[in-house]
Amino acid sequence: MNRSDFPILSRTVYGKPLVYLDNAATTQKPQCVIDAIAEEYCSVNANVHRGVHFLSTQATELHEAARERVRTFINATSTTEIIFTRGTTESLNLMASSYGDAFLKEGDEVIVTEMEHHSNIVPWQMLRERKGIILKAVPIADDGSLDLEKLETLFTPRTRLLSVCHVSNVLGTMNPIRQLADIAHAHNAHLLVDAAQSVPHFPVDVQALGCDFLAFSGHKVYGPTGIGVLYGREALLDMMPPYQGGGEMIARVTFERTTYERLPFKFEAGTPDYVGTHALAVALDYLSAIGMEHIHEHEQDLTAYAMQRLAEIPDLQLYGTTPTKDAVCAFNINGIHHLDLGTLLDRLGIAIRTGHHCAQPLMARYGVEGMCRASFALYNTREEIDALVAAILRVRKMFV
Ligand code: PMP
């Protein structure tokens, strides 16, 4: 890995070197991903599937090769289990809609956690409005870990699905997915994993995790925006109805009756983002060449270092202090509004995120309106964390 693989990292903001610590929101792109997009538009572009001409065949091959690349990256058993979506949000909405239609009746229960992103809460609430399902949330302890004892008590014979983030986008908590899969399955429920914040950071193997469904976004894994993945076990996906109707997802259409395509196309209505899928595959190749284990080791070092350095700052409150924590540090400083801190750090060239992080129930859990969040990627360095800490101390002086 070389920082120079990422052209944007050499730019300045307000005349200062860019320190980009907003990677949980989106990651920067290596040159190979940017090139893949330009090259495909320059020399291959044609709509995929059904085309008989040369370019269409080539574009289709790249698109389907990308599906195979995703399959190997998360170790799914078959490409029929890899559905391309616009991102984690669409994957989770697909689940609420299609899984909801196939498996959930009025009074059935879905369990989420207090640390979920809105995209793993709101679609279930919308389903609750439509169908009268029951939505429950597992509480978390002060350190940001899941209360597993309490979780066990939430299951009833009506519980169908446990839907949890692999890693919290605010607390960095790494949830014990294998254990959660065993708990869910022991209660005859399925497990859906929001892996938006795990797939970019460490090896994710859907078979080893034992999950039934898993969602992630391309743009958080050094790929382009607008592309994402839903993995699902084939036997379950087979039982689920299509999510949207249109081209690509049908076998035969008459006005009397329409039959649907086989997996995974049944869930992919319309022209797919075939340039995005190819560029995502290039991003995954890039990560595999570095090694996900290596990336994890580096980011674990950054996280531990950041936690230690941030704790040195007077009046700083850290959120999410579990030992199993990855790549995210959320904090507030007494007496400084998170928005003010973020704005002033920005003037010093440091990009962090402030606000509710699409996790308002979690903010309520900690009794705050918002937090500051620094989040790390493979290209970040200890020096950048030192720069963050120095900048926070400088801003703090303006307030005390
Ligand atoms: N879940 C988690 C844990 C996330 O961090 C995010 C993005 N912040 C999402 C879901 C939604 O991802 P996207 O906006 O790419 O659909």
Q: What is the 3-state secondary structure (H, E, C) of the chain?
A: CCHHHCHHHHCEECCEECEECECCCCCCCCHHHHHHHHHHHHHCCCCCCCCCCHHHHHHHHHHHHHHHHHHHHHCCCCHHHEEEECCHHHHHHHHHHHHHHHHCCCCCEEEEECCCCHHHCHHHHHHHHHHCCEEEEECECCCCCECHHHHHHHCCCCEEEEEEECECCCCCEECCHHHHHHHHHHCCCEEEEECCCCCCCCCCCHHHHCCCEEEEEHHHHCCCCCCEEEEECHHHHHHCCCCCCCCCCEEEECCCCEEECCCCHHHCCCCCCHHHHHHHHHHHHHHHHHCHHHHHHHHHHHHHHHHHHHHCCCCEEEECCCCCECCEEEEEECCECHHHHHHHHHHCCEECEEECCCCHHHHHHHCCCCEEEEECCCCCCHHHHHHHHHHHHHHHHHHC
The pLDDT of residue 270: 97
Q: Is 23 in the pocket of ligand 1 (CB under 6 A)?
A: no
Can you tell me the mean pLDDT for 244-272? Answer: 97
Atom of ligand 1 nearest to the CA of 169: 5
The model's pLDDT over 381-398, given as tens digits with 9 standing for 90+, comes to 999 999 999 999 999 999
Q: Is 198 in the pocket of ligand 1 (CB under 6 A)?
A: no
Residue of the CA atom closest to atom 8 of ligand 1 = 25
For residue 42, how far is its CA from the centre of ligand 1 (angstroms)? Answer: 31
Q: How confident is the model at residue 51 (pLDDT cuts 50, 70, 90)?
A: confident
For residue 312, how far is its CA from the centre of ligand 1 (angstroms)? Answer: 30
Q: How high does pLDDT run on average in the chain?
A: 97
> What is the greatest pairwise CA distance in the chain?
73
For residue 90, how far is its CA from the centre of ligand 1 (angstroms)? Answer: 10
Q: How confident is the model at residue 378 (pLDDT cuts 50, 70, 90)?
A: very high
Can you tell me the mean pLDDT for 114-125? Answer: 98
The pLDDT of residue 347: 97
The pLDDT of residue 50: 81
For residue 260, count other CB atoms closer than 10 A to its CB: 17
The model's pLDDT over 202-234, given as tens digits with 9 standing for 90+, comes to 999 999 999 999 999 999 999 999 999 999 999
Return the amino acid letter for 246. G
The model's pLDDT over 24-43, given as tens digits with 9 standing for 90+, comes to 999 999 999 999 999 999 99
Residue 123, pLDDT above cutoff 80: yes
Among 32, 42, 358, 372, which one carries the catalytic annotation?
A: 358
Can you tell me the mean pLDDT for 166-170? Answer: 98
Percentage of the chain exceeding pLDDT 90: 98
Is residue 358 part of the annotated active site? The answer reads yes
Q: Is 89 in the pocket of ligand 1 (CB under 6 A)?
A: yes
The pLDDT of residue 333: 97
The pLDDT of residue 2: 84
The model's pLDDT over 102-115, given as tens digits with 9 standing for 90+, comes to 999 999 999 999 99
The model's pLDDT over 298-351, given as tens digits with 9 standing for 90+, comes to 999 999 999 999 999 999 999 999 999 999 999 999 999 999 999 999 999 999
Burial class (CB in 10 A: 0-12, 13-18, 19+), 239: exposed
The pLDDT of residue 8: 98
Q: How confident is the model at residue 400 (pLDDT cuts 50, 70, 90)?
A: confident
Contact 248, 265 (CB under 8 A): yes
The pLDDT of residue 138: 98
Residue of the CA atom closest to atom 14 of ligand 1 = 89
200 prior amide bond cis, ω within 30:
no
Residue 1, pLDDT above cutoff 80: no
| Residue 341: C-alpha distances to residues 19, 54, 70, 344, 370 (Å) | 15, 55, 39, 5, 12
Q: Is 197 in the pocket of ligand 1 (CB under 6 A)?
A: yes
Q: Is 93 in the pocket of ligand 1 (CB under 6 A)?
A: no
The model's pLDDT over 62-113, given as tens digits with 9 standing for 90+, comes to 999 999 999 999 999 999 999 999 999 999 999 999 999 999 999 999 999 9
Atom of ligand 1 nearest to the CA of 217: 15
Q: How confident is the model at residue 127 (pLDDT cuts 50, 70, 90)?
A: very high
The pLDDT of residue 376: 98
Q: How confident is the model at residue 5 (pLDDT cuts 50, 70, 90)?
A: very high
For residue 154, count other CB atoms closer than 10 A to its CB: 16
